[in-house]
Amino acid sequence: MAIATTAKDSPQDAAHTSLASHNDETSAAELTDGFHLVIDALKLNDINTIYGVPGIPVTDLGRFAQAAGMRVISFRHEQHAGYAASVAGYLTQKPGVCLTVSAPGFLNGLTALANATTNCFPMILISGSSEREIVDLQQGDYEEMDQLAIAKPLCKAAYRILHAEDIGIGIARAIRAAVSGRPGGVYLDLPAQLLGQTMSALEGEKSLVKVIDPAPRQIPAPESVSRALDVLKGAKRPLIILGKGAAYAQADEDIRVLIEKSGVPYLPMSMAKGLLPDTHPQSAGAARSLALKDSDVVMLIGARLNWLLSHGKGKTWGTAPKQFIQVDIEPKEMDSNVEIVAPVVGDIASCVCALLDGMGDDWASPPAEWTDAISAKKETNLARMAPKLMNNNVPMDFHGALGVLRTIVKERPDAILVNEGANTLDFARSIIDMYQPRKRVDVGTWGVMGIGMGSAIAAAIETGKPVLAIEGDSAFGFSGMEIETICRYALPVCVVVFNNNGIYRGTDVNPTGGADVAPTVFVKDARYDKMMEAFGGVGVYATTPDELSRAVNEAMDSGKPTLVNAVIDEAAGTESGRIGNLNPQSVVAKK
């Protein structure tokens, strides 16, 4: 895009000039600037959405981007724009872009960048920054901060662009760094001066780079594939664990065929739920403990042996000797906790394809003794759960409320489910079956609270599908203001707040009898539904499973921004949900 004179043009002028410049030959005298080169470089690489918060020095960048036909989604806080960008990256395999102002805005976005890196989601945090000369001498510029240095340890790669002619290559580098190999977060530092720099439009256009094959296939070594198959073949009680890396890889059909051809029971990690429908006969989801404990060979596909899998050792995994096969793009992931006897390093699509080839046509299913034991355990557990999900208690408990939402998701398998909280997360994860890949977005590897509204917004924008966000009242509080964003863009998002008056429970008391409530307690019977009404959305106060069902169905049908305040028994939750073991408790009782 070429501009007539300086960076001070209004977006309309710029758009106008650009139209003109497409008609004529771009003449040598025409100029472009940093703003337009950034936009042109993103668009050239099919990045057409920016999540961000405007302000100094990137306000015009957002304006010009919109004028150039990009979708610019403005948030109320950078952290949520950042979570949105990372979820966009997870859902699309293209880096989601988050745009922030300098220092405090950058720092607000940094949490999301670190979270993206931890979760292996591709995103690029682009922040405006102060002038290098002043920052380096600490002379006190507006929002002066050495952002590049701060970002570096928290992301996969960090770059600063100082000259307009480097914008093309800088953005190409950022894109490649985000999506190639193990995906992650990339920081791109754009000093204010860069955005206003001008150069010849012709030279500018030539300087742009369209990234060729941004995430090249990584074919596994043939011997690693046959080694893995030999180990799997020798198993008496094999198990496959699918992680969110497998969901990210978009090799859905081949993964289904691999599972079915192998006959091996599988466990989906939380965000891999739905890769195969949770109702699949080989799913060991409802017999998780038994499957982990008694298996003798475990094949991990895009899942790490981190805390979510008890690091591959200890009580969770039982005492029987166990062998691990791991399929992952990151060679350093192998042997990170326990010995991996058969590492298969490559991209999941290529690895699964090679495994399928190697299995041939006469692959024998695992012994029936093992698969029957898992099926029997599943049936017992599911039968025990069923009546709880149909209870009509008022106030509602987690099971009664989630039983209703479970049916709604079953009837709308293409809706996206966003889920965060403590008890609200744990119960929803095990109760709500998913039926399609990448339909569940949750707190991820860090178990972070606050991903809710950003994730819901990205899911709606990127997929156009209805979104159901099931939120603990505490979790919702971290990003609640973004319901204004949801209303502003009229997104088809239904938020259900599980309101039990507090964190874990609403029943704690201040032991001193003082006026302050306990640290885990909120305002009793808060009306989150009225927040949604304040912005023109639909607010519903639901006290029974019937009311909840009606409200959510209506919201999913209408696509109108809706918040359902679901009143949950304030005594129903447990401390820290299912990870109370991570929350140290004093054994010294103080009177």
Q: Does 308 bind ligand ADP (CB under 6 A)?
A: yes
Shortest approach of ligand ADP to residue 237 CB, angstroms? 21
Q: Does 303 bind ligand ADP (CB under 6 A)?
A: yes
Q: Does 122 bind ligand ADP (CB under 6 A)?
A: no
Largest CA distance in the chain: 83
> Rounded to an integer, what distance in angstroms lies between the CA atom of residue 551 and that of residue 553?
6
Q: Does 306 bind ligand ADP (CB under 6 A)?
A: yes
> Rounded to an integer, what distance in angstroms lies between the CA atom of residue 3 and that of residue 434?
50
Length of the chain (residues): 591
Shortest approach of Mg ion to residue 431 CB, angstroms? 17
Out of ligand ADP, Mg ion, none, what residue 154 binds, judged by CB under 5 to 8 A for its kind, is: none
Residue 576 phi, psi (nearest 5): 60, 25
Residue 162 phi, psi (nearest 5): -105, -20
> Rounded to an integer, what distance in angstroms lies between the CA atom of residue 491 and that of residue 493?
6
Percentages helix, strand, coil for the chain (3-state, rounded to 5) are 45, 15, 35
DSSP calls for 226-257: HHHHHHHHT-SSEEEEE-HHHHHTT-HHHHHH
Query: What is the Cβ-side half-sphere exposure of residue 479, based on CA atoms within 13 angstroms?
Result: 34
Between 360 and 399, how does the x/- string for binding to ligand ADP read (CB under 6 A)? ----------------------------------------
Subset of residues 514 to 543 that bind ligand ADP, contact rule: CB under 6 A: none
Shortest approach of ligand ADP to residue 391 CB, angstroms? 31
Q: Does 337 bind ligand ADP (CB under 6 A)?
A: no
Cβ-closest position to ligand ADP: 245
Q: Does 500 bind Mg ion (CB under 5 A)?
A: yes
Subset of residues 231 to 290 that bind ligand ADP, contact rule: CB under 6 A: 243-245, 248-249, 269, 271-272
Q: Does 348 bind ligand ADP (CB under 6 A)?
A: yes
Distance separating the N- and C-terminal Cα atoms of the chain: 71
The span of 297-305, 356-364, 546-554, 579-587 binding ligand ADP (CB under 6 A) equals: 297-305
DSSP calls for 144-169: ---HHHHHGGGSSEEEE--SGGGHHH
553-560 contact pairs (CB < 8 A, 24+): 553/408, 555/494, 556/408, 556/412, 556/415, 556/466, 556/468, 556/492, 556/494, 559/466, 559/492, 560/490, 560/492
> Rounded to an integer, what distance in angstroms lies between the CA atom of residue 4 and that of residue 31?
6
Name the residue nearer to ligand ADP (CB basis): 141 or 333: 333
The span of 150-158, 214-222, 498-506, 576-584 binding Mg ion (CB under 5 A) equals: 498-506
Out of Mg ion, ligand ADP, none, what residue 492 binds, judged by CB under 5 to 8 A for its kind, is: none
The footprint of Mg ion on this chain (CB under 5 A) covers a number of residues equal to 4
> Rounded to an integer, what distance in angstroms lies between the CA atom of residue 251 and that of residue 563?
35
- Locate 566 and state its tokens: 């679901």
Subset of residues 422 to 451 that bind ligand ADP, contact rule: CB under 6 A: 445
Out of ligand ADP, Mg ion, none, what residue 472 binds, judged by CB under 5 to 8 A for its kind, is: Mg ion
Between 184 and 203, how does the x/- string for binding to Mg ion read (CB under 5 A)? --------------------
The footprint of ligand ADP on this chain (CB under 6 A) covers a number of residues equal to 24
Name the residue nearer to Mg ion (CB basis): 317 or 498: 498
Q: Does 220 bind ligand ADP (CB under 6 A)?
A: no
Query: What is the Cβ-side half-sphere exposure of residue 118, based on CA atoms within 13 angstroms?
Result: 16
Shortest approach of ligand ADP to residue 524 CB, angstroms? 36
**Contact footprint for ligand ADP (CB under 6 A):** 119-120, 182-183, 243-245, 248-249, 269, 271-272, 302-304, 306, 308, 328-330, 333, 347-348, 445
**Contact footprint for Mg ion (CB under 5 A):** 472-474, 500
